[in-house]
Structure 1
């Protein structure tokens, strides 16, 4: 007989616990360069419970800007990181007879699903196929390690299994069918997991975790990188799980992300990995709203670890009908006339057409009988043509949109030459084919030619970037043939890398706050960039890793810049800084210390864009996009599309037979929801 809920202990209980990454009484870990890695206390005196059963809904979402510790908070719930006192964290319910034996340990009962490509335990990754070379995902299935999505979901991914899948628990057939249908995976079950798009892979990870029937499921930014229809469909599924408390859900989100309408409780994190506010959703939101207004009206000092700029969009609601409501400060917000879009619009170059850099003249990509891209026929100039017809010219700024699985990642792989079918498809890059053209007098374009002229940031690059590379090495690899090879010597490489690291020291250096470095200052301490030779890529936060890969894509001023979900995982302030750097390099910066407009002294405004000290001194080393470069951006969030984007292509849902749609924008996407809706409307 099951105990009544009043007598059942919580699954997770944290009572006045403080957490550390390393033992606080031990010497701070040092690198080979002698730097001590910071070890501040995390979430001091934390009190937090995840009940095994409650009288009403208790659906938690952990919210915070970059570097606030959202992932760390979820890891603490799983039992990671050191707890002081050790008895402050416990898992009492897991020791009861209510719990099956296979779920008695926290690492099995509490599953974490993150999308930071590192796995994170508990179903975060896609297994062995996740480590294959990028172009391998597009080859015909022939390797024994290319297991299918069905195998992945069932746990049949070991080449020589010593135990039955899923810890001898088996997979309930009815649960399998329901999860596969709810997450729209039915048509993908026989595909190798390496063929899945980013969005499909995320749904697969969630499904795999659900099929292990955990007691608690921790979802780290589950909607990141998903197209609007998938987000709208996934939220009700998670809601149904939360209603049944099977499993209990804890989500994380950025402040600008809309909160599912079924979330009842919030934890808002400060940037110093401490709790800013915690409790039922409406109480927390009202408290943050009062804080914003107090700062804007001038009667309340802004807490540097609780930045107001990160809160403006917080509070919007994700419903079955889409995103509704306003952010905490939206009804008062005034957009400055000198905001970032003014700078990015001017970077689009002359209106005259530049030479073609990418020419796709009827591309159709197939894997066996599956058509992944170009499954349509349309009328062009009075003729019936099939496949994708698309030209990208110098100076153009393109947005590529479409549902998950529509072929966006395939397009990127074609133009970056990772896809083997580029040899057989009607594609020209930089006016040249991958194969010899009789009578052309031109040599075929090599893989290395393309890699040297295309800057690329994407989840695939993130997945395959070696975690052991130093921060400086990651940037320098933009000049190398492979991630780990020696960079090609170039006079400007060191000066560009140094300038970029200095500009983004606040965001990239984990010890920045303790060293008090000023990124835009001309007066630097001795060896101000030694940290970049110290910290490894894998030691950085997810947000910092994304920033570093974004910078790697643009630092060499390549002919084509491809940004595939490059800004996902960043909060709005970091994202805007990256976008301004994309447009202007070191020449422009947001005015520091300005949080109020001059309009009566009480309305918030974006900080104006001003000339940087580097520009004033004539010491600019890195410039923004030029009219000789093309930009191709892929995103499912309008705020993550650079304001300079003016051309767009929207791919249809896979195998509908509908053609791709193309159009032009009359202004930035993020400032007008009507433009965004027009792109996604059929």
Structure 2
């Protein structure tokens, strides 16, 4: 019996180097090269078990690597990158081009609106923040059904079964069922939660029947139940090779157990190691422990700190494993100085936020507060009853679509129903109260006293603002209004720019410099996703507002960047990280180990601290789906129920930091 012929690969790269601009242009002004000498193949056989994931820290080029596979960067030599399978008769004519056969779905705030290959929800998501909650739809606010079918233009195309230019109704029904989108089809896309919108973007890409689907950090910002359901769905696609999947992830993200091959990228946009998952993980494990034990010198482009949490496995039953760091090893972020007074209930002051039975309705649908709360000695109340006081550190949790973003919109008065609901902010109502002698609270009062970082702010802040202007915008009334700064505010802005220069400056070098001209030379839209997140985090806390709201503020950051922001949130400029070395005596002799510890900063030693961490006069409200992205100071928690379950919200108090004990996390999620 003759063996079956081996099918040519979909993507074949043989010793190629990649550029955004041609290397012969403008005498060396072509920009950096990416992945020099790259050799890579993506097989086309449906029976192939190669399931790839591209892993790397921020600025290592994960998204760029996916773009290379899709043919979006120049290849030198041009013949080094080919698409042999797409030239065969097995591929329909409409998929002969790589940018059609290989679809890209990205999930950061910039790319999600760009449409890049099926990745965006289009113009509906670019409406003003409060428009998301209005009952009247704008002309661009099309339904999820129209979005999936491509009916987002004035003259939509007709849909016919098996029409080469349209979308199969049979495929539509299957994709909608697999991604649990049926109940959402008639909703405007601007009403969708983060997790629902993510499933919608994946569905839109699948309906084009691509040969390959590139998913850029698909689990970022999703709650544990949604991750648990999305991973098996993707595995089913991978098993059937319909389509073939390539994922990207950060080192600290748990990798789905069905991933078989890894590409680990260095910090200089080069491949560090590539191959079968276990081989790659074994090499990284030996490197990590070799550096930790002093036997190997650390490569600056592959910092071991970024590898500490790598290696955890996402299974159908949850996350398994502890990463490359040994069990019991102290994470850098948990080495914060002990400041128990910041989490103590005894230090709380007057109420800053008061909700007494809040229900948010859109017609017959209750989006928040679809339950009745029973409290000892009190009359039952319908809706959410919640009070946040000075000094409290709250975590707000719940599945995607449970109403977390709605709560943030009520706090920040972006939601039009704020005016009609029983809500008080800073002891005052949005509407006049007869006999109170108080003026109603204005939008400007609220914005001056609440610092806010969220995916919505990320989506709407103008990309044309400079790095400096984004931070200064904390003192402005709107995104585009001129900031009102005094000398103290300017000093705080400069201090933040110096503190986070390595994360924000695209041309940062290790040389110490007090020249901050770079902050006025680079635009927000030119920064990496991680740098943009850092900038919005600084904006939320720099002027020490009464309430700091961090809604998924740390998603998209590497572990080291995240921990630096966490330390800054707790201590401002007063503390910093330092590396200490110590000698360990073992059976085979002595060795030198290194660890990261928290020490007093130079600013603290010289009494020149301009930006402090959270004080007991401030309240913190943090929303996250990942326990490592919840600040250690959080003690109070609120967990919203699944939408329309009519189960009541649950409240509790933690006995310690979330990220150091999975038991606390499981208690919140009741698992």
Number of the residue aligned with 2:60: 68
Pick closer, same or farther for the CA change 1:335–1:542 going to 2, 3 Å. Answer: closer
1:473 aligned onto 2:469: yes
Q: Distance in 2 between matches of 1:356 and 1:306?
A: 47
**Mapped partners of 1:78, 1:626: distance in 2:** 49
Q: 1:343–1:584: 8 Å Cα contact kept in structure 2?
A: no
Paired with 2:353 and 2:168, the residues of 1 have a C-alpha distance of: 48
Judging changes above 3 Å, is the alpha-carbon distance between structure 1 residues 24 and 149 closer, same or farther for their aligned structure 2 residues?
same
Classify 1:275/1:401 alpha carbon distance in 2 versus 1 (closer, same or farther; 3 Å).
same
Equivalent of residue 547 in structure 2, options 557, 560, 564: 560
Structure 1 position 632, deviation (Å): 0.3
2:624 to 615, 635, 651: 635
- Residue matched to 2:105: 113
CA 181–437 in structure 1, closer or farther in 2 if over 3 Å, else same? same
CA 1:287–1:421 in structure 2 vs 1: closer, same or farther (change >3 Å)? same
Q: Distance in 2 between matches of 1:563 and 1:621?
A: 22
> Compared with structure 1, are the counterparts of its residues 454 and 8 closer, same or farther at alpha carbon in structure 2 (3 Å cutoff)?
same
Aligned residue in 2 for 1:46: 38
Distance 1:454 1:60 in 2: 43
| Counterparts of residues 386-397 of structure 1 (less than 5 Å) | 386-397=382-393
Summarize the alignment of residues 153-552 of structure 1 with structure 2, pairs less than 5 Å apart.
153-161=148-156, 169-331=165-327, 333-334=329-330, 339-343=334-338, 345-348=340-343, 351-380=346-375, 381-512=377-508, 515-518=509-512, 524-525=513-514, 528-552=515-539
1:130 to 125, 148, 172: 125
Distance 1:472 1:334, change over 3 A: closer
1:296 touches 1:602 (CA, 8 Å); kept in 2? no
SS in 2 for 1:314: coil
Contact kept in structure 2, 1:334 and 1:603, CA below 8 Å: no
Partner secondary structure for residue 670 of structure 1: helix
Match of 2:604 among 611, 615, 628: 615
Residues 1:21 and 2:16 aligned together: no
Shift in Å at residue 447 of structure 1? 1.0
User: What is the aligned counterpart of 2:668 among 653, 659, 679?
Assistant: 679
Q: Is the 8 A contact 2:158 2:166 kept in 1?
A: no
> What are the superposed Cα offsets for residues 57-92 of structure 1, whole Å, 9 maximum, x if unpaired?
000000111211111111111112222112211222
The alpha-carbon distance between structure 1 residues 571 and 346, as it changes in their structure 2 partners (threshold 3 A), is: farther
Distance in 1 of aligned mates of 2:595 and 2:435: 57
**2:54 match: secondary structure:** strand
- CA deviations 1:572-611 (Å, max 9, x no partner) are 11100000000111110001x4466767775866511000
Q: Secondary structure at the match of 1:462?
A: helix
Which ranges in structure 1 are unaligned for 5 or more consecutive residues?
30-35, 519-523
CA distance in 2, matches of 1:210, 1:402: 28
After superposition, what is the alpha-carbon deviation per residue over 1:351-380, rounded to whole angstroms, capped at 9, x for unaligned?
Answer: 233111100000000111111000001212
Alignment correspondent of 1:577: 564
Displacement of 1:150 after TM fit?
A: 1.0
How many Å separate the matches in 1 of 2:63 and 2:443? 37
Q: Work out the number of aligned pairs and report it.
A: 662
**Aligned partners of 2:468 and 2:27: how far apart in 1?**
23
> d(CA) in 1 for partners of 2:163 and 2:510?
49
* Contact in 2 for aligned 1:110/1:217 (Cα 8 Å): yes
Give the TM-score normalised by structure 2.
0.95
Q: State the Cα distance separating 1:5 from its structure 2 match.
A: 7.0
Query: Which moved further from structure 2: 666-675 or 460-469?
Result: 460-469
Structure 2 CA distance for aligned equivalents of residues 501 and 569 of structure 1: 20
* Cα deviation digits, residues 112-171 of structure 1 (max 9, x gap): 111112235012221111110000000003322211111111111112447879996322
CA distance in 1, matches of 2:129, 2:243: 34
Q: CA deviation at 1:181?
A: 2.1
Name the SS for the 1:351 alignment partner.
Answer: helix
> What does the per-residue CA deviation read over 1:527-577, in whole Å, with 9 as the maximum and x for residues that have no partner?
x21111111111111111111111111111111111000111111111000
Q: What SS does structure 2 have at the residue aligned with 1:492? A: helix
Instruction: For residue 424 of structure 2, give the secondary structure of its aligned residue in structure 1.
Output: strand
CA distance in 2, matches of 1:357, 1:82: 54
In the other structure, the counterpart of 1:33 is: none
Do the aligned partners of 2:294 and 2:593 also contact (CA within 8 Å) in 1? no
